[in-house]
Amino acid sequence: HWAISLRDVTVRYPNGTVGLNGVSLDIPAGSMVAIVGLSGSGKSTLIRTINGLVPVTAGTLTVGGCAVDGARPRALRALRGEIGMVFQGFNLAGRASVLQNVLVGRLAHTPLWRTLIGRYRGSDKQLAYEALDSVGILPKLYARASDLSGGQQQRVAIARALTQQPKIVLADEPVASLDPPTAHSVMGDLRRINEERGITVLVNLHLLDLAREYGVRLIGMRAGEVVYDGPAASASDAD
């Protein structure tokens, strides 16, 4: 029941820029969706709106049956606990170890005193090990995050999201700063967590080829509007 639903959603930024213009979408739980469009087309606005980071100006947005807009802070925190985020720039603590970075995904589930003294539950560590293993980075457990390659850092970020045991993973241009072979393997990881764990994955991309190969459904955006919505494999540049 972790569907995402947008009805005529418009997002206008305080400076008047329109980020989304009347977007309607139904994304069932367990979907693998690639969102494609040029820079400025509204992809990251869409993702940040779903996560409640950017307010809806008009229309309705529900995630898991709950209205995101107008949600109380407590409800919004609970929602964000179910959504794992992956960013282009990895957003890791460079000086901290891989394990420490991944355990941050358990923060919402960990009593404050434990995080303050760095004592995590055995069950949390187990989740972290499993997540690191599933993206092939377990051998780097004690490495400093900043000593890893870009692809490895992005896998750590994906493991951190997995440790949250999310229903949804939102990835904003996760491979934009990676070389093509690394981009393919990171996209493969995202596809696998969708297939094996049934997690809904929404991934922003500016390369149509990657979207066609790893998306199941493709949403094309232009100037804040959805201009294509259909099977990824058959989407062409003309769409």
For the chain, give percent helix, strand, coil, nearest 5.
40, 25, 35
Report if residue 15 touches ligand ADP, rule: CB under 6 A.
Answer: yes
3-state DSSP assignment of residue 27: strand
Q: How many residues bind ligand ADP (CB under 6 A)?
A: 13
Q: Note whether 13 binds ligand ADP by CB under 6 A.
A: yes
Rounded CA gap, 140 and 128, in Å? Answer: 12
Q: Which stretch binds ligand ADP (CB under 6 A): 10-18, 67-75, 121-129, 183-191?
A: 10-18
Phi and psi at 67, nearest 5°, equal: -70, 125
**Shortest distance in whole angstroms from residue 111 CB to ligand ADP:** 32
Q: Whose CA is closest to 148, among 166, 129, 132?
A: 132
Judged by CB under 6 A, does residue 164 bind ligand ADP?
Answer: no
Segment interacting with ligand ADP, rule: CB under 6 A, options 14-22, 26-34, 106-114, 181-189: 14-22
Alpha-carbon span 188 to 239, nearest angstrom: 25
- Candidates 12-20, 22-30, 111-119, 181-189; binding stretch for ligand ADP (CB under 6 A): 12-20
Does 151 participate in binding ligand ADP (rule CB under 6 A)? Answer: no
Q: Is 77 in the site for ligand ADP (CB under 6 A)?
A: no
Q: Does position 149 bind ligand ADP by CB under 6 A?
A: no
Orientation of helix 180-197 relative to helix 122-134, angle to 10° = 130
Contact 18, 10 (CB under 8 A): yes
Q: Which stretches of the chain bind ligand ADP, using CB under 6 A?
A: 13, 15, 17, 19, 37, 39-45, 173
